[in-house]
Amino acid sequence: MSTAALHTSQLRSLPLLARGKVRDNYAVGEDRILMVASDRISAFDVIMDQPIPGKGELLTRMALWWFEQLKDIVPNHLTGDAPESVVAPDEVAQVRGRSMLVQRLQPIPVEAVVRGYLAGSGWKEYQQSQSVCGVPLPAGLHNASRLPQPIYTPAAKAAVGEHDENITFERTEQMIGAELAARIRDISIQLYQRAAAIALARGIIIADTKFEFGLNAAGELVLMDEVLTPDSSRYWPQDGWREGANPPSFDKQYLRDWLEQAQVNGRPWPKTAPPPTLPAEVIEQTAAKYREALQRLLG
């Protein structure tokens, strides 16, 4: 992987569609999008000012690998074309290794979240209501407990800088129709179960993850965006997991933990922009967590 970090891509040869928390999306004609994974990192829905070197290439490599593992369950948005083929020669360095050339789809405004373990906000909610996002769970579970079976807890997509909103399955039926809502739920659970089994064989627990879908011109459901990266999933080392405690994780939890203690102007950071400046050791430790996840998965 290259050592130069890319906080924000600057392609002049293609029209910019949008900049997300991590990805810069450019229009390629009317039917394709070039997705460039920057080295930006966000936490608590705030984009940090300092990039994590190598992160964009790592996320892209991992997502491409997962798309290959899951392609028989549902079609994905990859076109198979080389991202370098659609930019100017002097822009190739910005896209090589960190980009996907994908179909332009009609996005479905629902994040398909699947949880296999109690963690994070789910654990907090369970302690209060013995349920997660309205899904009742049995008594006696603990922090980091494996759930009897994976549960589907969708969220409504929010604009950049806003928090996604957990919603009920019934709400997704109202938003997109009962048939499509059920299809997305069933496929998401199937994707999670396949991925969780693959990862567990490599010593990794995928505690939870989120999928995004769109519809193509023929109205077919297509898996899109990123898939099963440490940015969209909670990765734990199997050998570090025990029920009742927060396992060390391969995602941005290290960064989140640091931010929980961070001070801005002598006060705790309020989890709104501007973010605190990340020390070099936090940047390197975060990068190391991402690298370890890739190494464990892909060998």
Give the tens place of pLDDT for each residue, 94-139. Answer: 999 999 999 999 999 999 999 999 998 899 999 999 999 889 999 9
- What's the mean pLDDT in 42-62? 95
CATH 3.30.200.20 intervals, the chain: 16-63+76-104
- What's the mean pLDDT in 229-235? 93
- Chain centroid to Cα 183, Å, comes to 21
Is 16-63+76-104 a domain of CATH 3.30.540.10? Answer: no
Assess whether pLDDT exceeds 60 at residue 199. yes
Q: Which residue has the tokens 């948005």?
A: 77
Distinct helix (H) and strand (E) counts, the chain: 7, 18
What is the C-alpha separation between 33 and 69, in angstroms, rounded? 22
Residues 6+ apart with CB under 8 A from 120: 208, 234
What is the C-alpha separation between 237 and 203, in angstroms, rounded? 6
- Given CA atoms 196, 198, 199, 203 in this order, what sign does their dihedral have? positive
Superfamily of 107-252 according to CATH: ATP-grasp fold, B domain (3.30.470.20)
Q: What is the pTM of this model?
A: 0.93
Q: Which residue has the tokens 């798309």?
A: 67
